[in-house]
Amino acid sequence: MQPKISDFGLARLFSGSQTQGNTKRIAGESGYRAPEYAKKGHFSTKSDVYSFGILVLEIVTGQKISSFRNSINLQSCVSMLAWRHWTNGKALELADPTLGGQRPENEILKCIHIGLLCVQEAGC
């Protein structure tokens, strides 16, 4: 078994009662940072939702965010790739091939959809 989630060090940067704020001390893996946090240091609970969405897409696709390292904007690459497949009706092509035939398609589609909803720029 390989753990998929790590680096809870950011939780120590902010007090437990804070739900939003600004910081000049931007930390964390760049691919998981919400755009507003990465660019302006603004964080909120929405920042966590964004990071969760990236993590979900990473787990479903089997691709680590680091595989997009050559890109200037990691976040847009991951979400653009996923959105492109989703809108073209090819979202299942994103699924990790190591899942083989044991992959319930409807559950994979739900996970991709949840990930995409979490990383979209503007909320509904």
Residue 94 near residue 61, CB atoms below 8 Å: yes
Percent of the chain's residues with pLDDT above 90 = 13
Please tell me the total count of domains within the chain. Answer: 1
pTM: 0.67
Closest CA relative to residue 49, chosen from 4, 19, 82? 19
Question: Is residue 3 one of the residues assigned to a domain?
Answer: no
3-state SS class at 93: helix
73 or 81: whose pLDDT is higher? 81
Question: Is residue 90 one of the residues assigned to a domain?
Answer: yes
pLDDT, tens digit (0-9, with 9 covering 90-100), for 35-52? 666 666 666 667 778 888
pLDDT, tens digit (0-9, with 9 covering 90-100), for 6-35? 554 455 555 666 655 555 555 555 566 676
Which structural domain range is residue 61 located in? 9-119
Question: Is residue 2 one of the residues assigned to a domain?
Answer: no
pLDDT, tens digit (0-9, with 9 covering 90-100), for 63-77? 876 655 554 455 556
Domain containing residue 29: CATH number: 1.10.510.10
